[in-house]
């Protein structure tokens, strides 16, 4: 078994233990959805190439088998490999950043407990342990040279390690195919996004700039064209996107998950705005596995699933660990009129 997989599985077990401790004092209706969901496999029968299928029980969950062909998966992967590089800040400095986020999350959880209660005391004890670890890491980092600033340009980015083994990168959608064209609107809706290290939206990857910078006929150029195709075609082919009033592609989110890593059960935050969150699997293995509500879905490269309505706002979803690294592309769609009113 690869050492990377074993290390990440052990780390995930520790994180889940802390999450369970924090949730233990929450009302039963809040923790039941996260910790006690019995998921059933869902493998919808093929109904034609790239046709969308709705889950019979989980409202708002949609699935498209082979939404794009293997050639498209290869082209998009080539684009990502050319535009996004491994993070250079992967040592103790990155651990300091992660420890700081952990302390903030634990203190926030502690603040929600009744003062003086057992849960209050336990949560603050956990936060104190995390603060000591953070301070020790800060002391170690102070003895080392500062890492170089990360690459942050419209054509070149470094993965941001949001969590150990979980790398993120943002990309502005192409304005000619339903993306947000206004710079002011981009800044208003896409600022201070934690999973991208609060990088200013002016420094995000930009699909239009990437396409301009790639050679005609290259795999990278074809990758750009396929992303534009997704922006145009998903509102036509995916009923939950088509149901959105004047859907706009808010942005593309790239995510790389190392083998053995998982994303625990959660409901996506309301910001940045998105009525539909559609995720395309670009994985290197045989399949990835996700759970949405009571449905467990296997995704092969080129498959796409989307959440809207109840699946978006009421059901938790998670990504299960895999023995292969996982690359995915998520497109968020929101109503143009709602964005203007926000």
The predicted-structure confidence for 247-276, as pLDDT tens digits, reads as follows 999 999 999 999 999 998 999 888 888 999
Confidence of residue 8 (pLDDT cuts 50, 70, 90): low
Confidence of residue 46 (pLDDT cuts 50, 70, 90): low
CA dihedral sign, ordered 112, 98, 129, 23: positive
Written as six digits, the tokens of 220 are: 């990278």
Beta bridge partners of 199: none
Cα–Cα distance, 293 to 303 (Å, whole number): 19
Q: What was the pLDDT predicted at 2?
A: 59
On whether the CB atoms of residues 219 and 309 are closer than 8 A, the answer is: no
Q: Is it the case that residue 119 has pLDDT exceeding 70?
A: yes
Compute and round to an integer the Cα radius of gyration of the chain: 20
Q: What was the pLDDT predicted at 135?
A: 94
Q: Is it the case that residue 301 has pLDDT exceeding 80?
A: yes
Angle at 192 between CA 191 and CA 198, to 5 degrees: 120
Q: What was the pLDDT predicted at 63?
A: 97
Cα–Cα distance, 238 to 63 (Å, whole number): 9
Digit-coded pLDDT (tens) for 192-248: 888 998 999 999 999 999 999 999 999 999 999 999 999 999 999 999 999 999 999
Written as six digits, the tokens of 32 are: 């039941």
From the list 297, 322, 316, the residue with the least C-alpha distance to 36 is 316
DSSP string, 120-157: HHHHHHHHHHHHHHHHHHHHHHHTSPPPPPPPBSSS-E
Q: What was the pLDDT predicted at 90?
A: 67
Q: What was the pLDDT predicted at 329?
A: 98
Q: Is it the case that residue 306 has pLDDT exceeding 80?
A: yes
Pick the more confident residue, 139 or 7: 139
On whether the CB atoms of residues 301 and 281 are closer than 8 A, the answer is: yes
Q: What was the pLDDT predicted at 280?
A: 98
Written as six digits, the tokens of 31 are: 């923790």
- The pLDDT of 309-313, averaged and rounded, is 96
Q: What was the pLDDT predicted at 293?
A: 96
Q: Could you tell me what percent of the chain has a pLDDT over 70? A: 86
Cα–Cα distance, 295 to 283 (Å, whole number): 20
Written as six digits, the tokens of 226 are: 């396929």
281 backbone dihedrals φ, ψ, rounded to 5°? -80, 130
From the list 83, 119, 58, the residue with the least C-alpha distance to 254 is 83
Q: How far apart are the first and last CA of the chain?
A: 49
- The pLDDT of 164-172, averaged and rounded, is 94
Confidence of residue 17 (pLDDT cuts 50, 70, 90): low
Mean residue pLDDT of the chain comes to 87
Cα–Cα distance, 139 to 50 (Å, whole number): 53
Pairing of strands 326-335, 317-319: unpaired
Q: Is it the case that residue 48 has pLDDT exceeding 80?
A: no
Digit-coded pLDDT (tens) for 64-88: 999 999 999 999 999 999 999 998 7
Q: Is it the case that residue 20 has pLDDT exceeding 60?
A: no
Q: Is it the case that residue 342 has pLDDT exceeding 80?
A: no
- The pLDDT of 136-165, averaged and rounded, is 90
Pick the more confident residue, 54 or 97: 54
Confidence of residue 33 (pLDDT cuts 50, 70, 90): very low
Q: What was the pLDDT predicted at 199?
A: 94
b (16+ CB within 10 A) / e for 311-342: bbeebbbbbebbebbbbbbbbbbbbeeebeee
53 half-sphere exposure, CB direction, 13 A CA radius: 20
Digit-coded pLDDT (tens) for 93-105: 778 888 888 888 8
Q: Is it the case that residue 49 has pLDDT exceeding 60?
A: no
């Amino acid at each position: 078994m690869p050492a990377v997989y074993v290390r990440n599985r052990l780390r995930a077990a520790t994180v889940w233990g802390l999450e369970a401790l924090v949730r233990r004092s929450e009302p039963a209706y809040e923790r039941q959805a996260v910790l006690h969901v019995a998921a059933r496999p869902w493998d919808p029968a093929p109904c034609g190439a790239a046709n969308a299928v709705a889950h019979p029980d989980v409202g708002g969950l949609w699935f498209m088998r082979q939404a794009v062909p293997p050639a498209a998966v290869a082209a998009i992967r080539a684009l990502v490999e050319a535009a996004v590089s491994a993070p250079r800040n992967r040592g103790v400095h990155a651990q300091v950043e992660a420890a700081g986020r952990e302390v903030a999350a634990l203190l926030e959880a502690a603040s929600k407990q009744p003062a003086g209660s057992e849960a209050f005391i336990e949560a603050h004890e956990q936060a104190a342990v995390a603060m000591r670890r953070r301070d020790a890491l800060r002391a170690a980092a102070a003895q080392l040279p500062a890492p170089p600033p990360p690459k942050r340009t419209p054509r070149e980015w470094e993965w941001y390690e949001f969590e150990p083994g979980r790398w993120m990168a943002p990309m502005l959608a192409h304005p000619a195919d339903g993306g947000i064209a206004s710079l002011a609107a981009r800044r208003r809706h896409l600022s201070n996004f934690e999973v991208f290290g609060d990088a200013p939206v002016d420094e995000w990857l930009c699909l239009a700039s990437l396409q301009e910078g790639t050679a005609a006929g290259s795999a990278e150029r074809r990758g750009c064209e396929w992303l534009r195709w997704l922006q145009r075609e998903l509102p036509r082919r995916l009923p939950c996107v088509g149901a959105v009033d004047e859907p706009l592609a808010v942005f593309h989110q790239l995510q790389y998950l190392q083998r053995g890593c998982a994303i625990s059960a959660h409901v996506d935050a309301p910001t940045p705005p998105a009525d539909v969150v559609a995720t395309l699997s670009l994985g290197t293995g045989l399949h990835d596995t996700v759970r949405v509500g009571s449905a467990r879905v296997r995704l092969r490269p080129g498959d796409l699933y989307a959440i809207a309505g109840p699946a978006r706002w009421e059901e938790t979803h998670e990504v299960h660990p895999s023995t292969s690294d996982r690359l995915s592309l998520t497109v968020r769609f929101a109503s143009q009129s709602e964005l203007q009113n926000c």
